[in-house]
Structure 1
Amino acid sequence: MSNMIGVLQPIQLKAAVKGLHWRSSLEIHKLLKDNEDFCICYNSEVEGEPPKKINVEKMVGILPMHLMAVVMHSDGDDSFLQYLLCGIRLLQTLCDLTSRHPKLEQVLLDDVKLSGQMIDLVILTIILLGKNRKESWNSDNDSLLDATLVASSLYLLHGFISPNYQDLAQVLLAHRNVDVFIDSAFGAVHNVVRSLRVKLLYRRTDLPQKLGVDTLGAVNIHCQQAEAALQFLHSLCQHKLFRDRLAKNKELCGKGGVLMLAQSILSLTVSPEFVGESVTRASMSRMQAKVLSLLHHVFEADGVSFLDEVARAGNKHLAKTIAREVLELLRLGLSKASKASASPDYPMGFVLLNAMRLADVFTDDSNFRHFFIKHLPVVLSAVCCLSHGDFLSMLCSSDISSREDDATLDYDLFTSAGAALSVFSSSGQLVVPQFKLSFQNNLTMSSYAHQRTSLLIKIIANSHCFVPNVCKEEDRNRFIKNFMSGLRKDPSSILVNLLPGPSYTPVAQRGTGVFRNICSLLRHGQSLIPNVLNGEDFQLFRVFCVQLEPLIRSEFEESQAEVKDIQGTEGNLSGKQQRTEPLNLNNEEASENCDVRVEGVATKQGVNKKMEIGEGLKESDADASNLETSGSDTSSNKGKSLVDQLDDGELLLRKRFKGSASGEVKEDERAENFLVFEKLRKKRKRSIMNDDQMVMIEKALADEPDMQRNSSWIQYWAHKLSQNGSEVITSSQLKNWLNNRKAKLARANKQGWPVRDSLGDFPESPGDENTWQQKPSTPITDQAASRTPKTGENPMRSSSSSEEGLKRGQQVVLMNERGDKIGIGMVLRTDGEWYGLSLETRRVCVVDVVELSAYDWSKMIIPYGSDDVGRNFEEANSKFGVMRVAWDVNKLQY
């Protein structure tokens, strides 16, 4: 063996990399263990020459700088890129050995200078691969090499920094070139996806018999490399600081880099000859799910409105392309929601769930709301045309037939690099690795079903809610009109792939069937509050339901007749029902220039004063008892026929909203209900100003706190703010906003709430929010002692008006017979009847327990238990999705 000289020369280092990169960490470990001088031998490239010997510690010390020199002088040459991949592969192997060899740990992990060089190596490599190298893709092997280099470079960061993405995010954010890295990383992954797309499209022209095992394997490997690289970026974006930094990157956000990557992934299609290749199809589907999740993270980033930045940069068309893809995924996903999933060995990812999350963001954004209001209702109306049984199993059940599953790719850098390098070996034989998946079935079946239903209700709430000065006037009532228009269409032409077969309500019973489904969804939605569904979104969905009912009645004669028959028993519509005029919904612009009556929502200025919301928004606990259950597997409707459930649902809506359809609402009731609806509408998380405008006006108010008194200041700032947002802000709007802000500050000071500016959250009034959340400094036991009713006084009696009585949403402490603290809960019901139990008579209230003092108490037998509500806390949680129990009032502290 030739002896190693004192200083390693580049030619020696290059030979060592080529001679050692193919050895696994176990093999190198054995070689180092057998040599006390920390040297190992490798075979020479020249045939006949004896093996060479090299000191590993010295090699590691200069290898990162050596590879950086290769990157800077490569000019995209594939031979250099092959060598670069060999070097990265060897570095990863040595990083794996740091736990076994202290010398390697000291050099690779503890040397700050070398760690910095390693980060610089990764960034330089990503910059090189982030350029548009499309012209150099001369073969499938070239594109596979690029794809493997991108993934390997990113995952090398795990080797010498940390396997934890949060640690990675912190280290990268502290680097001087973090913005360049973020921009280049997204560009590099985009190049990988583009080359994969070209490869898949090119294969369409090949005859199936030409596609051998090697070809299919190469496509499979390429797809796995793309998934691994995207997975890396997605994991980084799950951390708040990183995604906030990404959202502020002008190249990626304003110029549409993130959106272009998403568009490329969402448009990936599998050619016919790969139909049977489950691994490839599943990998592509998981990529789509991950890029939807990544977009959702970025859209929800703090400090900057991503969609506003995109619109301001003139790239709104790119976001609209994503919106179209999301809409198509919703159509396909809701069509397949009752279809059995693919092979459990190859999870397809949360495509539908993440598409619904994005749709929730889009429908709540003024830039894209109009697009979704125009196209989404047709899909939703087709879903509502499903037969009642299919609709219940799809959206009103906790035990659905199938769900989406996700998985994380366990990326093996050594194996992946070896597979790509094998095609450049002398044999040219592709070695297809077996990739492993870490399954992420962390969602139970009921949790997945509840999230899907909750998101659907939120999307409807966003789309139907109209906020003056934020929403466009032409969008008033447009969602519900387009929904009605969709009911006339053939649902089988909209939804696809329903199994075991398309099952829709016959046209002759379309109105009754849709109304029945809406009632069931309304009941089921009530059971999801507050754990899964926000109460505000549910209230807005309920408004949609009551406004939809008279339109269905007028559109479908059979529904009109059936509702009359049902309501005849109540005596409020018998023979004296005022027929609502049918709407011409064929024309999307109908009612723009005429008085079209949509119950409860104005279509022309001034009609709001006549809104007939009815009693639907009154928080009547007696009526709410009808909505307590889910309408499916967890409800008290078990054993009832579908007709009985329909009767219950229709009677419920008519009982709640009888005034809105009959015209019998009194003027004072109209005024009260209008105010309630206005209050609910104002609580929507929309504002005439975006985050940047909020910061501007708050800074101005710090210098001019009484701006609302100066008209010239108001005019100046209204004009200035309008130039920095998508909405035009008038002087009167700004003045009202300033007055409201001042009132909220005064109210916060008076009530003892923490004083925040307009960038924080303000309760609308002391009764609008849960006051126990606003006053954490006062111990619950002290509050209970100060508010305990006098002996003999019924605390339920004055719950609607007295501060001393129990209120819905109030926090309480549950006690047992001995006075021991069981847990903390929130009051849900104080009167009416709950599963046959008269709450007022028995002096009992319904409580949602949010925390038990001891785990063992989850098995404790609860009072008033039954088969319907469960016998202990654990069973109650399985029934309702929350530990909902009936508890004696005298055993509550509040």
Structure 2
Amino acid sequence: MSVLLEPSQVVAAVKGLHWRTSLEIHKLLKDNEDFCISYNDGEEEGAEPVKIDVEKLVGMLPLHLLSVFISSDDEEDGKLRYLLSGIRLLNTFCDLTSRHPRLDQVLLDDVVLTTQMLDLVIFTMVALGGNRKESWKSDYDSLIEATMVASTLHLMHGFISPNSQDLVIVLLAHPKVDVFIDAAFGAIHNVVRSLRAKLLHRQTDQPKKLGVNSVGAVNAHCQQAEAALQFLHSLCQHKLFRDRVAKNQELCGKGGVLMLAQSILSLYITPEWVGAAVIIASISRINAKALSLLHHLFEAESVSFLDEVERSGSLHLAQTVASKVLELMRLGLSRASKASPPPHEYPMGFVLLNAMRLADVFSDDSHFRRFFTKHFTMVLSAVFCLPHGDFLSMLCSSDLSSREDDATLDYDLFTSSGWVLSAFSSPGELAVPQFKLNFQNNLTMSSYAHQRTSLIVKIMANLHCFVPEVCTEDDRNRFIQTFVSGLRKDPSSILVNLLPSSTYTPEAQRGTSVCKNISSLLHHAEFLIPNALNVEDLMILRVFCQQLEPLIRSEFEESQAEVKDNQGAGGSSSGKQLGKEPLNLNNDEASEDSDVRAEGATTKQGVNNEEMETAERSKESDNLETSGSETSSNRGGKGLVDQAEDGYLARTFTKRLKVSASSGEVKEDERAEASLLLEKQRTKRKRSIMSDDQMAMMEKALVDEPDMQRNSAWIRTWADKLSLQGPEVTSAQLKNWLNNRKAKLARASKHGPARDNNSSGDLPESPGDENTWQQQQQKPTTPFADKASASSSEGLKRGQQVMLVDERGVEVGKGTVLKTDGEWYGLSLETRQVCVVDVIELSGLYDYSKMSIPYGSDDVGRTFGEANSRFGVMRVAWDVSKLQ
């Protein structure tokens, strides 16, 4: 029977070994065949080295740390430092599992030990997530707790998986998953609270003892907060996890998530921190991630987040968050209105884009539409008062002068916890380690510009659309009236005085200029369909344009006279709608009822030929499908599913066909086109991409279940299965994909082989998604890229053991495949026929510290030694052709 270690031996081992890197411990283990480590505990000079059994130490460590956490003997400060040291040592052992099978067997294959480590994580979150009231803490307490939260969460990457999708599966299967979710959000909220206090109060409680300048301490705290929030954000990107969060009564019903978002969006940079670019950028990225996390929860399918908030009486919290979102959009659009905003040394995150996505949800909800109509409309009015050239470059361009950049923090648990532990014990000042930032430049400039414009159009459509069943009579035309009244205000006072008043269009000429700007927006919006915008929003924007001109004519009589003169001369682009039709209501039909309603997202004039052509192009696009999107019963806006709205659209198309018939132009296929467009208005377009593995799963399943599209239960089951294996897939999306596939097979059998444009696995998802739109536009289509993809994805699999060879075929070392597709630090793996390998052992002929690696860079290192220092393991990119 194995004899357990004494608690004193475990304590000594933690204190003596946590500061050693994984490479150092690897060498110590190689020097001892009995899987023991000899080390110097440092307590007495000249003392004999202490020898300890690593297998026994690892087996006892999680339960030992739990018992220390529960005990109340030690002082709180000393306890947290020791626990952080223990978590750091556990993480180091997890890093070594790929090199030592015995460690792998103990740490990763032992179910009991894995359960104990999960319990350690959950209990730590519970302990650090309590006491959620505002309280002052010293620099030491707040920073050590912030590091504990981030390190404990990221420890799960070590003993479960670096893939957040695997973490979701494990966590959702745990009986205490709801306890973990609630506690983790609470712990991160406490980290944010202490960061807020540190930003407001520069003084430290023990400046001499700490030996850390205030900028360094705040910088370190920001990094810990960002890393912790980033971890939760990665989990909430998966449908099953965010649905579970949305159902958590403590977080959603009682406003826990909204309170966290409110605290994050309220982080204030005092004047003394204005020059600290790294701190400002980190806080900006935290804001961006908080907005994105909220948007994920708002779009949860299992429950309506805002409905739950309303039922719990927490709408005031949502109102506060909506105000913050509004302010971020005002600031973001103000900066966007400048020709060349100042460059930032660090990426600031998609703050404006994510704020606009949230605003799209808020403005489409009956509780917040009036609020956004009142406040955001003034911002829109100011934007439309920009000179035509500035307006075009801001909202009608595919090539902006600048754009937001996002980044993820490459969190290094060993380095970050080591710095914190050293900072409060070393007398000298220590430089704060800057974690590597993996830039998320996954949006082209054109994609970013198109999404920003499409979101503006969507918000305008939300605010202008009138749904009798949801809106009150007072809301009818409220948006357009507020918009027109806003044109009388000073735009420079709304857009944060970043542009002088003289830059904007003078009030006397404002009517003409606004008509010109909105006509250009309407023209530009057509080209965003179907990838970034849906037809429905374009139609509502068209209604807005048609209503706007007569109101502007009466509001700005002088400028309207100029508009009429220009229209008479035929030379004014402000009188063009999509470049062809006049933007006015000065005709017989319009004069019968100048109060054109936005009910049903169209007008009494119907839809012109260009809209029908757009619908036809959308029909012919094999990569676009329509999918049902269930909305909350109290949410109004653009959902054209009500009978009243359908009736209005039907009347509109009927009237259009009658007009065409009277002129002898009606065709049979026009009725089909009208029916097609009417059907497409009932749903929102969504896009996503199924991975090759997901499509392979479906093709295999369809062999046994060829008529799966007829069975709702099967579809739901397979949608959940697919979501666990890659990008999330909803039941509606999967059903559309199945129907689309079946139709293409039928066409192919009837007309012979045809190119399958949907072979990439396109599925409906939100056109506002920050990744899929660009992926759709930039899929590699060259034979070389296809060959490379097949080579890397089919020949090699993640986790496969391989031998690395050089140009001459000589063995360099052995390793494990980590990544075979996608991008790795700017390197396209499929295109270059490269995969990422964790090198376990190098051939004895090579000195890894000096040997150069292929595809080396400052980010990943240029030698095996530098790669090891970057990642804690020799992680390199290697040609597929040189792997055996």
- Shorter-chain TM-score above 0.5: yes
1:378-421 deviation line (CA, Å, top 9, x unaligned): 11010000010110000000011000000000101011101111
- Aligned pairs for 1:426-437 (under 5 A) are 427=427, 429-437=429-437
Read off the aligned partner of 1:39 and give its amino acid letter: C
Structure 2 unaligned blocks of 5 or more: 576-580, 618-651, 661-670, 685-707, 717-732, 759-775, 787-884
Contact persistence 1:15–1:45 (CA under 8 A): no
Superposition deviation, residue 528 in structure 1: 0.7
Tell me which residue corresponds to 2:273. 274
Tell me which residue corresponds to 1:620. 609
The whole-number CA distance in structure 1 between the counterparts of 2:654 and 2:412 is: 71
Cα distance 1:434–1:755, how it changes in 2: closer, same or farther (>3 A)?
Answer: closer
- Aligned pairs for 1:542-621 (under 5 A) are 542-568=542-568, 599-601=595-597, 613-615=603-605, 617-621=606-610
Contact persistence 1:193–1:226 (CA under 8 A): yes
The whole-number CA distance in structure 2 between the counterparts of 1:66 and 1:6 is: 15
Tell me which residue corresponds to 1:417. 417
Cα distance 1:104–1:756, how it changes in 2: closer, same or farther (>3 A)?
Answer: closer
The whole-number CA distance in structure 1 between the counterparts of 2:612 and 2:681 is: 24
Moved more, 850-859 or 487-496: 850-859
- Aligned pairs for 1:222-261 (under 5 A) are 222-261=221-260
Contact persistence 1:554–1:581 (CA under 8 A): no
Superposition deviation, residue 681 in structure 1: 12
Cα distance 1:852–1:334, how it changes in 2: closer, same or farther (>3 A)?
Answer: closer
The whole-number CA distance in structure 1 between the counterparts of 2:498 and 2:40 is: 61
The whole-number CA distance in structure 1 between the counterparts of 2:682 and 2:590 is: 31
Superposition deviation, residue 505 in structure 1: 1.2
Superposition deviation, residue 506 in structure 1: 1.6
Cα distance 1:8–1:369, how it changes in 2: closer, same or farther (>3 A)?
Answer: same
RMSD: 4.3
The whole-number CA distance in structure 2 between the counterparts of 1:413 and 1:178 is: 23
Contact persistence 2:77–2:141 (CA under 8 A): yes
3-state DSSP of counterpart to 1:528? coil
The whole-number CA distance in structure 1 between the counterparts of 2:304 and 2:510 is: 42
Superposition deviation, residue 320 in structure 1: 0.4
Read off the aligned partner of 1:599 and give its amino acid letter: D
- Aligned pairs for 1:292-691 (under 5 A) are 292-339=291-338, 340=340, 343=343, 345-425=345-425, 427=427, 429-496=429-496, 498=498, 503-568=503-568, 599-601=595-597, 613-615=603-605, 617-621=606-610, 683=681
Read off the aligned partner of 2:305 and give its amino acid letter: F
Cα distance 1:212–1:420, how it changes in 2: closer, same or farther (>3 A)?
Answer: closer
Q: Given the alignment of the two structures, is residue 61 of structure 1 paired with residue 29 of structure 2, yes or no?
A: no
The whole-number CA distance in structure 1 between the counterparts of 2:611 and 2:56 is: 80
The whole-number CA distance in structure 2 between the counterparts of 1:280 and 1:342 is: 17
1:576-607 deviation line (CA, Å, top 9, x unaligned): 9699999xxxxxxxxxxxxx9863028xxxxx
Superposition deviation, residue 430 in structure 1: 4.0
Contact persistence 1:398–1:446 (CA under 8 A): yes
The whole-number CA distance in structure 1 between the counterparts of 2:410 and 2:468 is: 50
1:588-627 deviation line (CA, Å, top 9, x unaligned): xxxxxxxx9863028xxxxx89x99353x324149979x9
1:763-804 deviation line (CA, Å, top 9, x unaligned): xxxxxx9x9989547655855998xxxxxxxxxxxxxxxxxx
Superposition deviation, residue 549 in structure 1: 1.4
Read off the aligned partner of 1:310 and give its amino acid letter: V
Cα distance 1:623–1:776, how it changes in 2: closer, same or farther (>3 A)?
Answer: closer
Q: Given the alignment of the two structures, is residue 35 of structure 1 paired with residue 24 of structure 2, yes or no?
A: no
The whole-number CA distance in structure 2 between the counterparts of 1:234 and 1:161 is: 18
The whole-number CA distance in structure 2 between the counterparts of 1:244 and 1:268 is: 28
- What percent identity do the matched residue pairs reach? 64
Contact persistence 1:465–1:681 (CA under 8 A): no
- Aligned pairs for 1:800-879 (under 5 A) are 821=754, 855=782
Tell me which residue corresponds to 1:99. 98
Superposition deviation, residue 683 in structure 1: 4.8
Contact persistence 2:93–2:103 (CA under 8 A): yes
Structure 1 unaligned blocks of 5 or more: 583-595, 603-607, 629-664, 687-751, 761-768, 787-812, 814-818, 826-848, 860-894
1:59-82 deviation line (CA, Å, top 9, x unaligned): 000000000001112498111111
The whole-number CA distance in structure 1 between the counterparts of 2:356 and 2:52 is: 57
Read off the aligned partner of 1:367 and give its amino acid letter: H
Read off the aligned partner of 2:39 and give its amino acid letter: Y
Read off the aligned partner of 1:64 and give its amino acid letter: P
Q: Given the alignment of the two structures, is residue 12 of structure 1 paired with residue 1 of structure 2, yes or no?
A: no
Contact persistence 2:204–2:214 (CA under 8 A): no
Cα distance 1:216–1:368, how it changes in 2: closer, same or farther (>3 A)?
Answer: same
The whole-number CA distance in structure 2 between the counterparts of 1:493 and 1:308 is: 35
Moved more, 554-563 or 774-783: 774-783
Cα distance 1:547–1:781, how it changes in 2: closer, same or farther (>3 A)?
Answer: same
Contact persistence 1:599–1:612 (CA under 8 A): no
Cα distance 1:685–1:132, how it changes in 2: closer, same or farther (>3 A)?
Answer: farther
The structure 1 residue matched to 2:71, chosen from 70, 73, 82, is 73
1:434-474 deviation line (CA, Å, top 9, x unaligned): 22111110100000000000111011111110111112322
3-state DSSP of counterpart to 1:599? coil
Contact persistence 1:600–1:612 (CA under 8 A): no
The answer to which structure, 1 or 2, has the higher relative contact order (CA under 8 A, 6+ apart) is 2
The whole-number CA distance in structure 1 between the counterparts of 2:306 and 2:594 is: 31
Cα distance 1:57–1:577, how it changes in 2: closer, same or farther (>3 A)?
Answer: closer
Read off the aligned partner of 1:7 and give its amino acid letter: L
Contact persistence 1:467–1:682 (CA under 8 A): no
The whole-number CA distance in structure 2 between the counterparts of 1:502 and 1:350 is: 30
Superposition deviation, residue 40 in structure 1: 1.4
The whole-number CA distance in structure 2 between the counterparts of 1:101 and 1:857 is: 38
Tell me which residue corresponds to 1:216. 215
Superposition deviation, residue 27 in structure 1: 1.1
Contact persistence 1:18–1:86 (CA under 8 A): yes
The whole-number CA distance in structure 1 between the counterparts of 2:538 and 2:482 is: 21
Read off the aligned partner of 2:315 and give its amino acid letter: K
Superposition deviation, residue 6 in structure 1: 4.2
Read off the aligned partner of 2:427 and give its amino acid letter: S
Tell me which residue corresponds to 2:144. 145
The whole-number CA distance in structure 1 between the counterparts of 2:364 and 2:782 is: 40
1:635-685 deviation line (CA, Å, top 9, x unaligned): xxxxxxxxxxxxxxxxxxxxxxxxxxxxxx999669989x999x9799566
1:350-405 deviation line (CA, Å, top 9, x unaligned): 00000000000011112222211221111101000001011000000001100000
The whole-number CA distance in structure 2 between the counterparts of 1:172 and 1:505 is: 56
Paired positions, count: 666
Read off the aligned partner of 2:92 and give its amino acid letter: T
The whole-number CA distance in structure 1 between the counterparts of 2:532 and 2:44 is: 68
Moved more, 99-108 or 340-349: 340-349
The whole-number CA distance in structure 2 between the counterparts of 1:375 and 1:365 is: 15
Read off the aligned partner of 2:279 and give its amino acid letter: T
3-state DSSP of counterpart to 1:336? helix
Cα distance 1:526–1:320, how it changes in 2: closer, same or farther (>3 A)?
Answer: same
Contact persistence 1:599–1:613 (CA under 8 A): no
Superposition deviation, residue 181 in structure 1: 0.2
The whole-number CA distance in structure 2 between the counterparts of 1:90 and 1:337 is: 47
Cα distance 1:857–1:138, how it changes in 2: closer, same or farther (>3 A)?
Answer: closer
Contact persistence 2:748–2:754 (CA under 8 A): no
